[in-house]
Structure 1
């Protein structure tokens, strides 16, 4: 069994010492990312994922140091557990064990999944409310078109009106071309 630490700080200037103090024990190996949590590219996490072996324990000072959101937490814990690796979050005093004979890790993961679904629903609801308010203020324009009507007409002419070929030519979906044709009355 190898004790491994994963630490993440938002910038190069910040110190990892408080996270090490939270973990509070000597680690065999430490992986440190110096980037914001929203970044999907975290080199030390990528190295950790390839380094871990069955029986290892990954120590993290807090959940927000490892995961960007609940979906990310669920996926990372599942990945680590499937490799026989346990994950221990010190601040929350949570351990997701790889070889859990009592079934508590599975229960905790189901709870995380339920919470992640709840989180996603809240985000979608807030997004919809924001779009509705923007529409009422006439501030919502939707996504800007990637191609002009003239560009779509030209692509249709080049392909003798074949919408599929025109879409492929422009690098857009068939539905985009179809929607523009319906909106502009193009046959």
Structure 2
């Protein structure tokens, strides 16, 4: 590895660490902020659709790379990252303007809901550095390391996207 590559890695690693900490901390902090403007409940189904589209794009990106369509894979991943950022922005806007909706189900469905919700939340935080590291390894042409971490990133990211939709569907009757 050349000196320039080492410097690039250090620069990207700092950015990855900063974003991996700053994003979850900012989201958590924003839950303590309430802006009096109340948004209608149209936003949650929109960001649930964004999650569904993200999941679809991730699957298409996986298929593209399996078929050696690298440029298509690259474009699809950029779209998936963009959709994830869009989701995050809408999620934040909704939750700083609206009270959280409580799940009203009972019995075993309640436990299933909370299991899915808790794993979704934990993995949505955990996947941030994985996505960033995987992306950086691709753009810096470190393809072998990219492939290695992508095997972890893809199922985590897909799980987060799919469970985001499932959580919405399960809680939607209580909005």
**What TM-score do you get using the length of structure 2 for normalisation?**
0.27
Larger-Rg structure: 1
Higher relative contact order (CA 8 A, sep 6+): 2
Structure in which a larger fraction of residues adopt strand: 1
